[in-house]
Every structure is written in C-alpha cells, then in structure tokens.
Structure 1
C-alpha cells in the first residue's frame, strides 16, 4: 500500500503527443494521486492529423483553467516538455493562465529530433527568463541513454536554460518500455513540497 502523499495541491499531467500507454507512469501516477484524494488533470491533445501549435497551446491552457496561482504542479513528458517551453515563451498566453508552483520536465526530446505529428514545435524556445516567470520552480529529469536526447538533458536543456537536471542511469525515454510504469520517485516528488527530484 503506497504511502499517502503529504502535498495536497492539484497535479496537471501533460503526456507526449501520442499519449501515455496504460503501462506508462502517467496513468499509474494519476491513479495513485486520485486514490490519495488529490485532484489530477490530464491534458488531451488534438488528433495528430489536426494538431498544430495554436491548438495544442489552447488545450494546455484549457487544462490549466481555474487552477489557483502558485497552487498546483505540472509534470510534462516527452514532446509535451517542448510545448511547455512554448507556453512559457508566449508571455501573453502564460500571463493569462494560472502559474504553477512547480514544473517537472521529464525526458524532453532534443530540439532537432524528428517529432511525428508535432514537428510544429520546432524551433524550440530556450528562454531562461520566460521559463522562470512561468512557474515558481522548474526541474529537468532525464536519463543518460535516452535515444531521443543524445547528449542528455543536462547538456541539451540544462545548460542553455541555466538549470540543474536529475540524471537517471539507464532509464531510456522514461516509459514503461524502459521500466517506468510504476515509478515511486515521481510519486515521492508529488508528495513533497520542495522542487528537487530524487531519483
């Protein structure tokens, strides 16, 4: 029986553009948090053949609507991390949406990697000040062997964004295929108040 998280704020999950499989950590995490009485919102993106930046940003803002400023967390996975960077860079749209307390960007793909159906995310804005304004705190989480981010998130994203990254050895793209269905560390992050992600 997992321990009940102590943090009680809502959690917003932003899955990759193809959605999370039932075996990936996002559905598992949603079940764990809801079982502990937490509010969970899972973003729903436009169909792949109809997706564009405007529509995906609108879906993101819709998912955030009504949440309290500085009173919720966001976890983005895969290409949804790049969408969050676009959201942060669009200062007017970011200012019109509630501001999260914490954001975790998990396994973002390198900006030059092919993104089927979501190539409209390129070029990816890497704007330090905009990202800092978009949330109280943001953390990067990735692995040292992610095929979608050669070189690792610390080099590709952490350095230009001037932020630390939590690196997990041998975790691939942090999906069920690499052993990240149930993921106690992400549940632990959701249950704590500080920003650091403990792998």
Structure 2
C-alpha cells in the first residue's frame, strides 16, 4: 500500500532529458522505492492548456496516499489553472503538497506558443494549490520571469519562497542536474530548496 506518490511535471519543449533535475529526481525517488509519475505531456512544442490539464488530472487519478506534485516552468502555470478550476467547482485540493519551480512571468506569455497558459486572469490569492503546503523555488534572474517570480507569485500565493540567486531558469544548463535539496524536500516538506553549487 503506497503511503505517498509523486507527480513530476515538465515545461514547454521538455522531453524529460537525462541529466535534467526532474529526470534525476524521478530516478532517485524510484530507487528509494517511491511511487513516481513522470509523464510526457502532450504536444510539448505547441502545448494546449486543456490538453495538459486533462493529462495532469489523469495522472492524479492514478496516485495513492499523500499526493506530492513538482512543477517546473510552464507546468506551474498549468497547475495554477487546474487549481483555479477546482476552486470554481468547489472540489477539494488535488494535491497535498506542491513545489512550483521557475514559473513563467507575464512577459513570457507574449510568446504565442504558450500564450494560452497566461496566469493574468487568475485570482492567485484565492487559489488552493494544495491541501497542506506550497513552496516556490526560483532565481532572481530568470529570463522567463523578468518580473521576478518571488514577487510575481510568492506574495500573491502566500507560499514559502526559496530564492536561488543568479541561477536562471533552474534547468540543466543552469547547473541543475541532480538537485539534492529537491530530493530532500520530497522526503521532508520542511526542507528548503537551496542552490546547486
């Protein structure tokens, strides 16, 4: 009987490459005997919000025990839209814990490929992103959130925020292969996300 399960959600143009912290985290958790869902979301090069939220809901339905969700980049926006839909329909929270890593900022949605994911119309303060805890991890120089994710999302969501100075979009090319503090947070929600250097 699983007491918890993990759902790892990637961003646009991401094909779950080896070396990326999400891929390494999925492998590390599985080696520890954890139940991990790490789906390839549909049409990663030209994603549609409804397709992604439908796919995420299908994965959530398979999870057992404590549901722990980790989103990177565009998946953060998809999760916020899913949470907004849940709030509008008075459904209970879809997850027990959520980690949002490097969500795109308002200017990023000028790119037509992801424009449909814009969080501009969402009441961030009213979102119930998780039943228990939400944490945001971001840098202070993310090219996809020039507005600053800590300010843009952290304050509005009222969540715990870990700022990793100078670490860009927190991708493999930014030095985020295996990320020990992400694994530590998975195993203990009181852990903070720390820089990978």
What TM-score range do you get, normalising by the shorter chain? 0.7 to 0.9
What's the TM-score once normalised by structure 1's chain length? 0.84
Number of corresponding residues = 189
What do residues 65-86 of structure 1 show as CA deviations (whole Å, max 9, x unaligned)?
13246x1210000011000000
Matched ranges for 1:66-145 at <5 A: 66-68=62-64, 71-91=66-86, 95=91, 99-114=94-109, 115=111, 117-124=113-120, 125-132=122-129, 134-145=130-141
Over the residues paired in the alignment, what is the CA RMSD in angstroms? Answer: 2.4
Distance in 1, Cα, partners of 2:90 & 2:146: 29
Distance in 1, Cα, partners of 2:178 & 2:108: 27
Flag the 1:149–1:88 CA change in 2: closer, same or farther, 3 A: same
What's the TM-score once normalised by structure 2's chain length? 0.85
Gapped runs of 5+ residues in structure 2? none
What do residues 37-57 of structure 1 show as CA deviations (whole Å, max 9, x unaligned)?
001001322214663221111
Flag the 1:49–1:21 CA change in 2: closer, same or farther, 3 A: closer
- Structure 1 stretches of at least 4 aligned residues deviating more than 4 Å after TM superposition: none
**Matching of residue 15 in structure 1 with residue 6 in structure 2:** no
CA contact (8 A) 2:7 2:36 kept: yes
**Matching of residue 40 in structure 1 with residue 36 in structure 2:** yes
Q: Give 3-state SS (helix, strand or coil) of 1:28's partner.
A: helix
Gapped runs of 5+ residues in structure 1? 1-7
Distance in 2, Cα, partners of 1:50 & 1:161: 27
Matched ranges for 1:54-65 at <5 A: 54-65=50-61
CA contact (8 A) 2:80 2:119 kept: no
